Structure 1
């Protein structure tokens, strides 16, 4: 038999009566680590073995746990079996326990669990919390390997095994992808022991300390303002419920089409204005549309928000084999080529069309669509070798416009010119749609200033001569950006 015994949070007064009976009735015990206060309180007649050396010898924690588990199972085959003791509870933060139970099942060995108090109960006492108020439990080692914490920021979180400054630094960076740097956090050490410490400080200062131990944990309270994705989903579901809003309940996928497009363009306007505060607001409005559509789909039995996220997450990971797999790439160009090849295989697997141009929305603005088509073709190496080749093509298109025999032919050639200009922008790293929007905004801003200057002089813009208009235009440009050269004489109306 294999007996797995929990040693509690550290103080032997927390040992259960069952644990005391087991400890009195055996001659030897194997502990995962001696770096736990309860080990020094074990009955003096016990021969104590530990696995601390394994931590130094193995390259990964997974290898450590596997080696410990296999050793315990092998010892369990003996007639006298084995007693294996772990800090706290066998079912809180003890990866070896799950592995031992799996191997023991394969070997036909019995496993007896002697429960122990975990660090959670004594930590809750120090913090004055109730675990049922949404407490989340996380492992510091797992958080340290992530880029974003798997935590609901509207719920409290308790992070265990923050045993070094190095781990604390990585945990801090992960948490700061969701929580602000000055978010208050509380460090707990030796909870359940007389020397327990409780310290509160801003998140950014977490790794400014060096007094971490295997008994150190971190408490992260909820954000001051609700900001969890789940909270927002609940808000939208409430709006759509019988107790919600009549207008929201009436909406359908089709009725919200215009709203979705409008919010997307407002996000683009915020980006063009380089206004982070407005961008934050507009991204929220766009997210509202996404969650609204997902809630309608849930109610119709079409799909859930979790399925939306799972699908796009799987797709992104699948299309980045150089990040999440073992594919090697030489640069951005190869990344894009691989991306296109993967997309084509996905489409072929679904029996869908396999053109490289599939997937470019037909409703895109024409200039943006032209850039997208050019980018798709370029991924398959159908492209000019450099910008010089595109410039030559622009010259050719200009000559063809000039020699067009009629308006229909002229319109066709003009379209070809615009398409080619979009490809030049792509070669130069310019978003043609954004560049044109910015040019439109500049023109509108300067034109309105011309109108204001004319009105200040008691005149109407339409009553001015071309030369007077040119002067006002140049003045509007000079006021906006003094370093920009004014129009040449002759009044070429380029913005």
Structure 2
């Protein structure tokens, strides 16, 4: 917004005009303040953001001349452009006439972006601004639904419903729901959070006695309401039955579990004692993904998130960091490491995006050498994964084979060295040579874009499945596995492979 305002400032003349902003109230003429009536009738030029407001009828009755900016909504491509147009024109008109009156619905400081832009210009000394308050749309809505806002109330612009966080633990008022298309967008955004059956209020012409309408409906019916227009707002009551929870609930639950009247086990945990659970939960998430079990994935992601909140609560108690430090750090990191999204760098493909990420990460951590990049890979990672990442970073600087054939030749070389150490019965070197062999296998996997961790896990699953087949078949034959010969088991193993292939063919 600063850049847009600066463009407006460049176009301004040196002479500074005065703008008096008047709030027209929510709609009913009786809501007009005496101050508003006096200012509107003082003879200055009057400009309206919109004529689509019931109090304009009062101006007509009193013979007060005015100009409306409704035309701006027709000629500009977006609401942001509309607000810029109105603001710039008001500044120009104030310079021309010296002192003008600008009337807006409701209260000038509630959901009025043009007023916010004018206030920014005033702070820069570009205009003189006076604000005459009016009754906002909030008061008549509260009166209409009969809810006390003491437990919290959030006002949300329906035009930016996807960009503003909805809080399920307090009541919300959503404005700018002026047609069915906007109502449909709001419905879809809210349904993801509250569910289709959550009851809401649709209030039209709040505070205007002869026109006010209030309907209480389930959320899924929102875009089926006929009487939706410029004076329509949505009142969304907070979730009382706790059928759904959000991150704030999770944080409060963890605080209670760690509190004096909480759980003894939770209370005695430390960063160190929880390490194994973080690893365990991460692998359970991976299992759910591998099994393509979306219900399990949602459940396991919750368990993993719990570990983040758990560690954050301990950090807070010890005075080192809290959950908001965690979210702030990751948001800053994402923005910083995506200059092709948030700054002027470009990334036309996945490789360039990844390169930007790694370059920004190295700069962020003050990593100056390529060796430091290799050392930055955590030693606590599973060995196959760490090998893969080390090789990948070495390849980024050209330390790599030109073709997979080179990696395969290296694999044969390492295998021969293992065989040689076995023949020489040299146990001292055998461990190192087997490590080299595994490292070479990882290198071949990397060339073929195959994750070695996934590959070995699939092999393990295949082995277990075939072994289960052998044991099941041996029981059918009345034999004990321990009593079967290796030849018999090998025969059954080959039979298990055929059985698996037949199952796959049926699929």
Which TM class, normalised by the smaller chain length?
Answer: 0.7 to 0.9
Residue in structure 2 matching 1:251, options 250, 263, 269: 269
- Superposed, which structure 2 residues align to 1:10-409 within 5 Å? 10-26=27-43, 28-42=45-59, 43-73=61-91, 75-76=93-94, 81-107=99-125, 111-144=129-162, 146=163, 149-168=164-183, 170-172=185-187, 174-175=189-190, 178-180=193-195, 185-193=200-208, 194-198=210-214, 212-222=228-238, 225-348=243-366, 355-404=372-421, 405=424, 406-409=426-429
**Aligned twin of 1:491:** none
Displacement after TM superposition at 1:337 (Å): 1.5
Tell me the secondary structure at the aligned position of residue 162 of structure 1.
coil
Deviations 1:26-79 (A, max 9, x none): 464211112223223324321111222333444554443344334434555678
* Greater Cα offset, 193-202 or 437-446: 193-202
Taking structure 2 as the reference length, the TM-score comes to 0.83
Secondary structure class of the residue paired with 2:307 = helix
Q: Whole-Å Cα distance in 2 between the matches of residues 102 and 438 of structure 1?
A: 60
Structure 1 residues 423 and 200 mapped into 2: Cα distance closer, same or farther (>3 Å)? farther
Deviations 1:442-471 (A, max 9, x none): 322432343344334433111012343234
Alpha-carbon distance in structure 1 between the residues aligned to 2:369 and 2:276: 28
**Runs of 5+ in structure 2 lacking a partner?**
1-17
Instruction: Spell out, residue by residue over 1:303-339, the C-alpha distance to the aligned partner (whole angstroms, 9 max, x if none).
Output: 1211111111111111112222232222111111121
Taking only aligned residues, the RMSD between alpha carbons, in angstroms, comes to: 3.2
Deviations 1:174-229 (A, max 9, x none): 44554546655554333333344445666566567787532233334445524210
Q: 3-state DSSP class of the match of 1:37?
A: coil
Matches of 2:56 and 2:213 in 1, distance apart?
21
How many residues matched? 481
Aligned counterpart for 1:442 among listed residues 454, 462, 471: 462
1:62-107 per-residue CA deviation (whole Å, 9 max, x = no partner) reads 4433443344345556787222110111111111212223323544
* Aligned 8 A contact 1:477 1:484 in 2: no
Q: In structure 1, what is the Cα distance between the partners aligned to 2:352 and 2:406?
A: 22
Aligned to 2:475: 455
Going from structure 1 to structure 2, the CA distance change for 1:269 and 1:101 (only over 3 Å counts) comes to: closer
* Farther-moved stretch of structure 1 (177-186 vs 254-263): 177-186
CA distance in 2, matches of 1:384, 1:10: 74
CA contact (8 A) 1:347 1:353 kept: no
Structure 2 CA distance, aligned partners of 1:421 and 1:445? 24
How far, CA to CA, are the matches of 2:349 and 2:370 in structure 1?
28
Distance 2:217 2:447 in 1: 50
Shift of 1:362: 0.6
- Distance in 1 (CA, whole Å) between partners of 2:201 and 2:461 is 49
> How far apart, CA to CA, are the structure 2 residues paired with 1:310 and 1:181?
32
Report the Cα distance in structure 2 between the residues aligned to 1:451 and 1:334, rounded to whole angstroms. 51
Map of 2:452 onto structure 1: 432
| CA-CA distance at 1:422 after TM superposition | 2.0
Instruction: Give the match for residue 484 of structure 2.
Output: 464
Cα distance in 2 between the residues matched to 1:481 and 1:363: 38
Give 1:7's match in structure 2, choosing from 16, 24, 33.
Answer: 24
Structure 1 residues 335 and 20: alpha-carbon distance in aligned structure 2, compared to 1, 3 A threshold: same
Aligned partners of 2:204 and 2:227 also within 8 Å: no
Aligned residue number for residue 438 of structure 2: 418
How many angstroms apart in 2 are the aligned matches of 1:477 and 1:171?
54
Q: What TM-score, normalized to structure 1? A: 0.85
Structure 2 distance, partners of 1:102, 1:324, is 24
Q: Please identify, of 113-122 and 179-188, the stretch whose mean Cα deviation from structure 2 is larger.
A: 179-188
| Equivalent-residue separation in structure 2 for 1:479 and 1:60 (angstroms) | 63
Moved more, 368-377 or 232-241: 368-377
By how many angstroms is 1:291 displaced? 0.7
